[in-house]
Amino acid sequence: MFHKPPAPAGWPALLFLSIAVVLMQGCSVLRGTPDEHDASTAQTRPADAGGPDAFALDVQSDDDAVREYLSRHMELQRFRQLPDLQAQELTRLLGAADANVRDLLATLGYFSPDITITLNDTPVPDKNTPAHTVQVRVLPGPRTHIASVDIAVSGDGGAGAQDLARRQAQLRRGWGLPPDAPFTQQDWDAAKAQGLRQLQERQYPTARIAESRADVDADQARARLSVHYDSGPAYRFGPLQIKGGERYDAEGMRRIARLPTGEDYSETKLLDTQQRLASSGYYDAVFLTLDTGHGDPQATPVVAQVRDAPLQKLIFGVGISTDSGPRLSMDHTHNRLPGLGWRAVTKVALDRERRLLSTDWTALPAADGWRWFTGLQLQREATGSFDVDSTRLRAGRTQSGNHIDRSYFLQHDTAKSHGVGAPASSSAISANYSWTGRYFNNATAPTRGWGLAGEFGAGTTLRPARDPFLRALLRWQSFIDLGRVEMGNNLRRSSRLSLRLEGGAVLAREGADIPVTQLFLTGGDTTVRGYGYRSIGARINNGELFGGRYMTVGSMEWQRPITVRGNRTDFESAMFIDAGAVADKPGDLSARVGVGAGLRWRSPVGPLQADLGYGLQSRQLRLHLRLGYTF
């Protein structure tokens, strides 16, 4: 029997333990025994080899977490299955086990444990039972807690001294390992890394940890932490340098990128710039870096490594939706029209409800960010109770900002309805302005923030008679935080309430023949669930469904992350109530209400939404599927 008394408490080599274990694999069976014989023995028995393990390992502790941690990470586990472990080698392993257990316990914050290691022979071993059992009894003792934390940030001084003091205060407020919290090596490393990350994300990309120290009083089970960050110089964005691109106008690409030259460095703004270039369609690959090795930190160049996209691209698509059934599509893109330099995107789409042919031409942005555009659309679509052939021709200018998109344009519409009792064919011309503000935390899968959009137009019908009209459409959406849901692994996600409102109106003489493309219909996946696509509209004299002059839509949805047995998932549950109404007179608006529940999945290609909605007036149950998010 082997018995080793507990070693006195001390400060272990916390930071180097895991690295040392990895480096010693295949090199030595024990620290301090790097001879080739030991290296040759540190190999586990093949899975198909016969015979029992060299020994069994039995870890005993009143603390389940300690027992599981030691059973998983003790170095003895590496040698249990050695095919020919000699008694002398086993004795040396046991001699090192005490220090190994103390090092492991220290990473959990236990610095004065009582450890007893014994080697017991199996009374009657057989071919399937190890001849020995190594028993490790552990009384971890008091767990060390944080007594104090000292965080300091220093840099180049001067004009940045006030900002460094403010950032230091922010780090202290958000420090992840506050006084009285249990000390673990993992939490200590994570807290330091989190603080460094906060500095590097904004203004100080070259910040580093200059010094860190954890002074542990094992007798008092208290730890005093200190970390000193060297911020390095404060950086500002300089010019954008595009490398690797030859096909497209570099100055035009810089205007698309909208790098905030002259502003303080921000990792978020750098990634936003990269995303704008990547989604522009002019490049197949984009990677942006701040060139901290050259130039003045107050005007640091940003280098964009790019790979040009083909001049032309043809994409065929096949899809299906609950609103319009199977869908076939073809998109052709020409990134630089000869003689004009504009981009042309031509689309052909065919589904159960619609047949579409369109082309949209867009110029590169000017120095002020505005760009010219024009477009033509030919469409046959099921609109209410009729099939409508329509055309739309528009031309104008548009501007996209970090949060706000604007456009103004002239538009010509024609509409011809088919069917018994269909309204007369009509056409109109209008001048329009649209404004969209997006203030969400994420453009593709938001969980916080709000958005507001408005479209305003004034025009006149051209046939069968001339009648002036005004048209307005407003949309609003907001996410309200309802508290955090524990997802496991120290991860929390918010439960939230999603609110959505939409309203539209067309003001004109009662008998004016407004093109149906300027009127309103609602219902479907993104408006009022529980009802078919654009199945909520106004009724004309013979009871047929048609577009109306007034529309209101409202939605309230509770979204909550889903955990499975305390483990995080990428799914969320949803419960909702939608309501919408369309009519030709405000007093005739009568709400159609849908209620239901759904599932959300954060898929690699975007948020996937599946909802089961029940229409209270239609008394029908409908499945609604949607991929992606737009506002």
In this prediction, residue 34 carries a pLDDT of 36
Per-residue pLDDT tens digits for 198-236: 999 999 999 999 999 999 998 889 999 999 999 999 999
Q: What is the pLDDT of residue 44?
A: 46
pLDDT computed for residue 376 by the predictor: 97
**Dist. CA 130–CA 121, nearest whole Å:** 9
Q: Tens digits of per-residue pLDDT, 589-631? A: 999 999 999 999 988 878 899 999 999 999 999 999 888 888 8
> What confidence category does residue 13 fall into, taking pLDDT thresholds of 50, 70 and 90?
very low
Whether residue 322 has pLDDT greater than 90: no
Domain ranges across the chain: 3-139, 145-230, 237-308, 365-627
Q: Where are the beta strands (DSSP E) in 141-291?
A: 145-154, 208-217, 222-230, 237-243, 283-290
Residue 50 has pLDDT above 60, yes or no: no
Domains 145-230 and 237-308 belong to one CATH topology: yes
Place of tokens 């060299």: 54
CA distance 580 to 592: 5
State yes or no: pLDDT of 437 exceeds 70: yes
Q: Yes or no: say if 206 and 233 are a contact pair by the CB < 8 Å rule.
A: yes
Whether domain 145-230 has CATH 3.90.1720.10: no
**Mean pLDDT value across the chain:** 86
* Position with higher pLDDT, 325 vs 547: 547
CA distance 115 to 12: 15
Tell me what the mean pLDDT of segment 432-461 comes to: 94
CA distance 138 to 117: 9
β-sheet bridge partners, residue 57? 134
Q: What is the pLDDT of residues 280-299, one digit of tens each?
A: 999 999 999 999 988 789 99
Among residues 118, 127, 131, the alpha carbon closest in space to that of 86 is found at 131
HSE (side-chain half, CA atoms, 13 Å) at 45: 17
pTM: 0.71
* C-alpha radius of gyration, the chain, whole number: 34
Q: 564-600 burial, b for 16+ CB within 10 Å, e for fewer?
A: eeeebeeebebebbbbbbbbbeeeebeebbbbbebeb
User: 365-627: what fold?
Assistant: Porin (2.40.160)
Whose tokens are 């990134």? That residue is: 335
Distance CA 574, CA 580 (A): 19
Question: What end-to-end distance do the CA atoms of the chain give, in Å?
Answer: 73
Please count the residues of the chain. Answer: 631
CB 495 within 8 A of CB 541: no
Host H or E run for residue 496: strand 492-508
Question: What architecture does CATH give domain 237-308?
Answer: Roll (3.10)
Band of residue 570 on the pLDDT scale cut at 50, 70, 90:
confident
**Maximum distance among all alpha carbons in the chain?**
108
Confidence class for position 41, pLDDT limits 50, 70, 90:
very low
- Residue 46 confidence (pLDDT): 47
pLDDT in tens, 138-191: 998 899 999 999 999 988 655 578 888 899 999 999 898 889 999 999 899 999
